[in-house]
Chains A and B, each alone.
Chain A
């Protein structure tokens, strides 16, 4: 059962392995604080939609399942949007239109269609948490690289007298601005995807070696 949670973190990471939700991932990953806010919103919506799709899987008619999922997802997104506007207006302003665009985030509709409507409530909750946290980790990693190299800063939540911006000496004066632009987003995404592919191939190679060692050992 725990596999349903852990698979979304690395093995089936929605951004680097399944390659879902790339539009918002690339668009909001200019600052770490945006990635954290977007990630929290996606986790909440994914959790809510997976729970309700799993609970209603026998009630929702097959022919209208996609409109029904969209209504459920859009409701949770609207709740996130209204709550953010009311209680965290700065984060709402910072994320802009991308909060509403969670409705069409492929990760959420994909998990509702591919997992929650065929699995138990418990597994659907674990799947949502794993995929949501995996999406957030991917988003934070991309945004960390883009913000550090593209702006020379790390922006997190402000508290007390701290304005939330950590300036990196040497980089903040002359950053590689292209990394902060759309081109940089695609470059960073491409290199990270390549890294994940290389790690997966290496792991598969090790598994193959150990399997052949085991076969050789038993033959001997």
Chain B
């Protein structure tokens, strides 16, 4: 019986795809645990680095508390002093950047003032939006959120800082809006760290 040419052509292509899928499955089996470990380590380092900027010696970061009523704030970590008093919150935020979602870690005092922020996973453009990964970039937002609002427009920045966001305005707006929403979220929590985040 003669096998139709279409079946031969399709079969050969299917065979190539199958071999490729098997090879990729093997590579994924080796690399997936390492990638997960890298992400967990990056999160732990990020939380420690943000908490260290709170200005409270020996501050402790509590268990993650998922939030249910916000698209931007995905997780809240309450911070307490060694004496057990509430210090504020570290929030995991999702901002809209030029390359899609940007994951952020941001530390707030209980009055909503941002004291530290850190860019985590993102797909921003190397050399432009990627500059937001630098700790110095976040200084334009730090200190705002309580008495003054967090910058969400170029007009909110002093002239000397506008240059630093040239070429990456969408990244700046995405970070600013996420941080501003985080600040508003913290203000709604009040002083009871666990109550409002459930």
Q: Which A residues are within 8 Å of any B CB, using their own CB?
A: 27-28, 30-31, 34, 56, 59-61, 63-64, 67-68, 71-72, 74-75, 78-79, 82-83, 85-87, 89, 93-98, 147, 151, 177, 180-182
**How many contacts between A and B, using CB within 8 angstroms?**
92
Q: Contact at A68–B13, with CB atoms within 8 Å?
A: yes
Q: Nearest Cβ distance between residue A136 and chain B, in whole angstroms?
A: 16
**For residue A181, which residues in chain B have a CB less than 8 angstroms away from its CB?**
128, 166-167
Task: Tell me the dominant secondary structure on chain B's binding face.
Answer: helix
Residue of A nearest to B11 (CB): A61
Given A79-B27, A93-B133, decide whether A177 and B20 contact each other with a Cβ distance below 8 A: no
Task: Tell me the dominant secondary structure on chain A's binding face.
Answer: helix
Q: Contact at A180–B31, with CB atoms within 8 Å?
A: no
Q: Contact at B24–A72, with CB atoms within 8 Å?
A: no
Given A61-B8, A86-B38, A180-B167, decide whether A71 and B126 contact each other with a Cβ distance below 8 A: no
Residue of A nearest to B120 (CB): A93
**For residue B160, which residues in chain A have a CB less than 8 angstroms away from its CB?**
none
Q: Contact at A31–B127, with CB atoms within 8 Å?
A: yes
Q: Which B residues are within 8 Å of any A CB, using their own CB?
A: 8-10, 12-13, 16-17, 20, 23-24, 27-28, 30-32, 34-35, 38, 42, 99, 121-128, 130, 133, 163, 166-167
Q: Nearest Cβ distance between residue B174 and chain A, in whole angstroms?
A: 15
**For residue B35, which residues in chain A have a CB less than 8 angstroms away from its CB?**
82, 85-86, 89
**For residue B127, which residues in chain A have a CB less than 8 angstroms away from its CB?**
28, 30-31, 34, 147, 151, 180
Q: Contact at A30–B163, with CB atoms within 8 Å?
A: no
**For residue A67, which residues in chain B have a CB less than 8 angstroms away from its CB?**
13
Which of B38, B122, B167 touches A85 (beta carbons < 8 Å)?
A: B38
Residue of A nearest to B119 (CB): A93
Given A60-B12, A89-B38, A96-B99, decide whether A28 and B27 contact each other with a Cβ distance below 8 A: no
Q: Nearest Cβ distance between residue A82 and chain B, in whole angstroms?
A: 4
Q: Nearest Cβ distance between residue B34 and chain A, in whole angstroms?
A: 4
Which of A30, A34, A64, A180 touches B9 (beta carbons < 8 Å)?
A: A64
Q: Contact at A63–B27, with CB atoms within 8 Å?
A: no
Which of A71, A97, A151 touches B20 (beta carbons < 8 Å)?
A: A71
**Top 9 nearest A-B pairs by Cβ distance?**
A30-B127, A86-B31, A86-B34, A75-B20, A82-B31, A61-B9, A181-B167, A96-B123, A97-B123
Which of A87, A97, A147 touches B99 (beta carbons < 8 Å)?
A: A97
Given A60-B12, A61-B12, A64-B13, decide whether A96 and B27 contact each other with a Cβ distance below 8 A: no
Given A59-B12, A72-B20, A85-B31, decide whether A94 and B126 contact each other with a Cβ distance below 8 A: yes
Alpha-carbon gap, A78 to B23, bound state (A): 10
